[in-house]
């Protein structure tokens, strides 16, 4: 009787979700349930015990990933990415169960507590993810360690090309002039700040981060740069940074601020920016109404994180005194970036297992897979928001972006291919 009940619950859960492709679900009783139209992708999962089934149905947002990590939900054919694609790509019109809706309402109430990102908590949250063994990131990132969405001008570039294009695109929007002072909030391993100093010829670039591992990497790479005297990196909370700066850039950091601290963030940026200054903010944004952070991501990957909706951060911008001069939404660029990261990670998975263990590898595979399907099938994207104190600080049209990208690309070429040293003729 219990077996039949469990199988019926699985049918009711998966049948509305899987309309294309084929998903086979093996119940704890051994019964094989089939969903979809027989197309692609095709995958097969098996539940090892009845409690795993109940856990998934009760709270899929949290427990899918946990069950996969615990090997109580086993992917027997295909990959966990295939399973997530089958479940998510046609799920937009499927309402959640009453139990899930109640849990979601409770999680919205918990947001202020989970995102109470005071200085000490922000430091701990950053350390949880970014202070992992540095060799882990070598397995799947590009050579410049760009741990954020790449920019695909054609759509089929390799990771190195697309990440270079991202730095070029951001720097063009930032309108950097030679000799200017630039602040990079959440500088990571320093790739963008070095680009701004080396290629855009900024006079001084300061990068701040809360990750000791990233700080060490940024300083080490800066020491090998031809413009090391113009680069400075500090372990510093953005709330403690002193200005002023001509330009401010922040990539992949605003998601860690938390909705409660949006006002503090933008007011601080206003105080740090010169009167004619320009700022470029690049972050993951929610294209729907405000929501809570995914609970599995919150617990295992990015504690204290938040994906802001447009309606959440724009009022804080208005209150700060800054003006929004441009917004660009990069759709699907991060899905492609994550696909390349996932493929690179899986190709070197054994090395990750040697650094950590199999459970960690399953966690990381699920993180990359879930993130990719979220960008591909759910309403999140990258927002690039350009800000200024005065609207006259930015040209009237976007023509300058392409013009500056082309100029930066030429400068990259010249730096990579310096002219030969003239030979002095000897009598």
Both tokens assigned to 47: 């539940």
Number of neighbours of residue 398 by Cβ within 10 angstroms: 12
Q: Are 329 and 383 in contact (CB under 8 A)?
A: yes
pLDDT digits (tens, 9 = 90+) for 388-411: 999 999 999 999 999 999 999 999
pTM surpassing 0.85? Answer: yes
Both tokens assigned to 184: 């990079």
Question: What is the predicted pLDDT for the residue at 107?
Answer: 73
Residue 422 has pLDDT above 60, yes or no: no
199: left (phi over 0), alpha (psi -120 to 50) or beta: alpha
Residue 419 has pLDDT above 60, yes or no: no
| Rounded-to-5 percentages of helix, strand, coil across the chain | 50, 20, 30
pLDDT digits (tens, 9 = 90+) for 330-362: 999 999 999 999 999 999 999 999 999 999 999
Of 74, 140, 75, give the one whose Cα is nearest residue 355.
140
Q: Are 278 and 387 in contact (CB under 8 A)?
A: yes
For range 351-374, the mean pLDDT = 97
Give the C-alpha separation, 408 to 62, whole Å: 44
Please enumerate in sequence order all residues whose Cβ is within 8 A of that of 10, keeping only pairs 6 or more positions apart, or say none: 25, 27, 33, 53, 57
Give the C-alpha separation, 227 to 225, whole Å: 5
Give the C-alpha separation, 50 to 48, whole Å: 7
Give strand pairing partners of 205: 182, 231
Residue 301 has pLDDT above 60, yes or no: yes
Residue 280 has pLDDT above 50, yes or no: yes
Give, rounded to a whole angstrom, the gap between the first and last alpha carbons of the chain: 103
Residue 418 has pLDDT above 70, yes or no: no
> Rounded to the nearest 10 degrees, how much is the dihedral formed by the CA atoms of 395, 396, 397, 402?
-10
Question: What is the predicted pLDDT for the residue at 369?
Answer: 98
Question: What is the predicted pLDDT for the residue at 1?
Answer: 60
Both tokens assigned to 264: 């503090």
pLDDT digits (tens, 9 = 90+) for 23-81: 999 999 999 999 999 999 999 999 999 999 999 999 999 999 999 999 999 999 999 99
Residue 205 has pLDDT above 70, yes or no: yes
Both tokens assigned to 5: 């009940």
Give the C-alpha separation, 376 to 221, whole Å: 34
* The 380-388 sheet, strands edge to edge: 231-235, 204-209, 181-185, 245-251, 273-286, 380-388, 323-330
Of 250, 235, 228, give the one whose Cα is nearest residue 322.
250
DSSP 309: B
Q: Cis bond leading into 305, ω under 30°?
A: no
Of 401, 368, 269, 372, give the one whose Cα is nearest residue 324.
269
Question: What is the predicted pLDDT for the residue at 138?
Answer: 95
pLDDT digits (tens, 9 = 90+) for 108-125: 677 777 677 777 888 898
What share of the chain in percent tops pLDDT 90?
82
pLDDT category, 425, cuts 50, 70, 90? very low
Give strand pairing partners of 35: 23
pLDDT digits (tens, 9 = 90+) for 223-258: 999 999 999 999 999 999 998 999 999 999 999 999
Of 136, 135, 371, give the one whose Cα is nearest residue 252.
371
**Helices vs strands, H then E, count in the chain:** 17, 11
What share of the chain in percent tops pLDDT 70?
94
Question: What is the predicted pLDDT for the residue at 423?
Answer: 45
Of 142, 216, 178, 131, give the one whose Cα is nearest residue 408.
178
Helix axes 333-347, 159-174, angle to 10 degrees: 140
pLDDT category, 373, cuts 50, 70, 90? very high
């Amino acid at each position: 009787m219990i077996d039949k009940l469990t199988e019926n619950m699985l049918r009711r859960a998966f049948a509305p979700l899987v309309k294309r492709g084929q998903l086979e679900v093996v119940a704890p009783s051994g019964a094989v349930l089939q969903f979809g139209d027989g197309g692609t992708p095709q995958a097969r999962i098996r539940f090892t015990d009845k409690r795993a089934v109940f856990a998934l149905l009760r709270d899929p947002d949290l427990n899918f990933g946990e069950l996969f990590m615990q090997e109580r939900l086993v992917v027997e054919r295909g990959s966990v990415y295939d399973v997530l694609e089958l479940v998510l790509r046609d799920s937009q019109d499927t309402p959640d169960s009453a139990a899930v809706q109640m849990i979601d309402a409770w999680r919205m109430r918990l947001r202020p507590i989970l995102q109470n990102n005071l200085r000490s908590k922000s430091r701990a949250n950053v350390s949880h993810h970014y202070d992992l063994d540095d060799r882990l990131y070598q397995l799947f990132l590009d050579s410049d360690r760009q741990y954020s969405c790449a920019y695909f001008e054609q759509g089929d570039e390799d990771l190195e090309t697309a990440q270079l294009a991202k730095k070029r695109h951001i720097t063009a929007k930032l309108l950097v002039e030679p000799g200017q002072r630039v602040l990079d909030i959440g500088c990571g391993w320093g790739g963008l700040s070095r680009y701004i100093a080396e290629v855009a010829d900024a006079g001084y670039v300061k990068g701040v981060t809360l990750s000791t591992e990233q700080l060490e990497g940024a300083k080490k790479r800066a020491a090998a740069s031809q413009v090391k005297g113009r680069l400075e990196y500090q372990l510093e909370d953005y709330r403690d940074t002193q200005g002023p700066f001509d330009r401010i850039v922040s990539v992949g950091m605003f998601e860690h601020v938390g909705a409660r601290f949006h006002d503090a963030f933008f007011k601080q940026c206003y105080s740090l920016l010169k009167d004619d200054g320009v700022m470029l903010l690049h972050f993951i944004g929610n294209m729907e109404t405000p929501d809570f952070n995914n609970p599995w991501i919150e617990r295992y990957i990015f504690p204290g994180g938040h994906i802001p909706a447009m309606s959440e951060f724009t009022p804080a911008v208005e209150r700060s005194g800054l003006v929004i001069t441009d917004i660009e939404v990069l759709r699907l660029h991060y899905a492609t970036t994550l696909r390349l990261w996932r493929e690179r990670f899986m190709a070197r998975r054994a090395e990750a297992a040697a650094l950590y263990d199999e459970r960690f590898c399953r966690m990381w595979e699920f993180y990359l897979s879930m993130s990719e399907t979220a960008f591909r099938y759910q309403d999140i994207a990258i927002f690039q928001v350009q800000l200024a104190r005065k609207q006259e600080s930015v040209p009237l049209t976007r023509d300058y972006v392409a013009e500056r990208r082309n100029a930066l690309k030429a400068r990259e070429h010249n730096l990579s291919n310096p002219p030969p040293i003239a030979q002095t003729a000897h009598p």
